[in-house]
Chains A and B, each alone.
Chain A
Amino acid sequence: MTHPKIATRWRRHAALGVALAAAALLSAGHAPASSGPAVGIKDHKYAPTTLTVPVGATVTWTNHDEDPHTVTSATSAFTSRGLGNEETFAQTFTRPGTYAYFCALHPQMKATVVVK
């Protein structure tokens, strides 16, 4: 669960967050940064289900299923579009906190990013 205060601060910095996420996507191009923290999506599961990263890290999700999935924050802090097969989504975390997320198409798919 995201701490309410963290969520509020996140929203205040939403514009910056989006800009950073966009920058991360641009710099990564179509190939995700292989060295950065990554989450794979396969058989309707995020792996790992809990990922711990330092502040400022950019996490990249890759959907290996033929079903589309999303990476949608439980507190609306961020959301991806529908990711097709082998499509990626990158999100930069600028604030510490616990970010729960799920797939908007398959809400039983749940996982967490912990930013320390």
Chain B
Amino acid sequence: MDRIDRRGFLECMAWAGTGVVWTAAGGLLASRPLTSAAAAAEAPAGGFSFVQISDTHVGFKGEANKDAAATLQQVVARINALDPAPALVLHTGDQTHGQKEGAFDTVAEILKGVKAERVFYLPGEHDVFLDGGKEYLARYGKGTVGGRGWQSFDYRGTHFVGLVNVLKYKGEGVGALGEGQIEWLEKDLAPLGASTPVVVFAHVPLWAVYPKWGWTTEDAERALSYLRRFGSVTVLNGHIHQVLQKVEGTVRFHTAMSTAFPQPAPGSAPAPGPMKIPESDARRMLGLREVTYVPGRQALAVVDSTLA
């Protein structure tokens, strides 16, 4: 299975001239940190940028990170140092480490300090597995479709769709969107012109990264069938705590780093889970993602930067 095709690699390489340096290691792409000065140079008139953070896992305490709240704080400081400031922040789930008591409060408190117009959330399986999403939806369900956590909104001509694929965890423990949400998506996208840039964000990857570890969404293909007519689709996921990319026609898939701990590359360990490595090494595998929309350019610029 080819996780990154040549075309995708070349598309990513296209950004090398504008401040991002991509490196291929073990067949996977990773980007080097980008300074905020380089980001500023990239932000054009009429464009805007937003930040994706993911898998904050507050409550986690392990070898790779003794304090997941502290690394989240550092990431927030990084976001607040971006110039220009991002318009939005998207949190792609697993705010908490297994719904650890008090973790939702800690995340909310830390993210109050983010300098952005708004923060959008969706759940990861760690946020909902104990109570079927009761606490999560009580906090973040307001304003979402039927209070069920998924939503769409428009920002300066770009259509954003936040999908929930962790409430129907079943069988082999893979992501699933479910019939109701897919039907909603079809209706939500129907009135949009094909030239509208679309950003889709969801916790579990919407492509088959590594089904054996549950790193896939079983009914994603149906959702994607409604997205393929658009000229620019950017799919942002979390869950796997590492940067992977894939390009399929006009659809670009990106998974993000965690702000808490890295996970092993697909199949490189007996099981997924926190890598047991020194904190100093882990910092090089934690971080955030800045996405910049450039009018007239089909692909959004996706820049991943690490804490170290």
Q: Chain A interface (Cβ within 8 Å of chain B)? A: 43-45, 65-68, 70, 81-82, 84-85, 104-108
Pairwise interchain contact A66-B130, C-beta atoms closer than 8 A? no
> With A43-B271, A44-B273, A105-B126 in contact, do A82 and B98 touch (Cβ < 8 Å)?
yes
CA distance A45 to B270 in the complex (A): 10
CA distance A1 to B129 in the complex (A): 23
Q: Chain B interface (Cβ within 8 Å of chain A)? A: 60-63, 97-100, 125-126, 129-130, 169-173, 214, 261, 270-274, 276
| B contact residues around A45 at 8 Å (CB) | 271
The count of A-to-B residue pairs whose CB atoms sit within 8 angstroms is: 52
CB closest residue in chain B, given A65: B273
CA distance A33 to B261 in the complex (A): 32
Pairwise interchain contact B130-A81, C-beta atoms closer than 8 A? yes
CB closest residue in chain B, given A104: B129
CB closest residue in chain B, given A105: B129
Pairwise interchain contact B214-A108, C-beta atoms closer than 8 A? yes
Contact of A66 among B100, B172, B276 (CB under 8 A): B276
Pairwise interchain contact B270-A108, C-beta atoms closer than 8 A? no
Pairwise interchain contact A106-B173, C-beta atoms closer than 8 A? yes
Pairwise interchain contact B98-A108, C-beta atoms closer than 8 A? no
| B contact residues around A84 at 8 Å (CB) | 98, 100
CA distance A85 to B273 in the complex (A): 12
> With A43-B270, A44-B271, A44-B272 in contact, do A82 and B130 touch (Cβ < 8 Å)?
yes
| B contact residues around A107 at 8 Å (CB) | 169-173
Pairwise interchain contact A67-B274, C-beta atoms closer than 8 A? yes
CB closest residue in chain A, given B169: A107
Pairwise interchain contact B172-A82, C-beta atoms closer than 8 A? no
| A contact residues around B60 at 8 Å (CB) | 66
| B contact residues around A81 at 8 Å (CB) | 130
| A contact residues around B261 at 8 Å (CB) | 66
> With A44-B273, A107-B169 in contact, do A82 and B62 touch (Cβ < 8 Å)?
no
CA distance A70 to B99 in the complex (A): 12
- Shortest CB-to-CB span from A27 to chain B, Å, is 25
CB closest residue in chain A, given B99: A82
| A contact residues around B169 at 8 Å (CB) | 104, 107
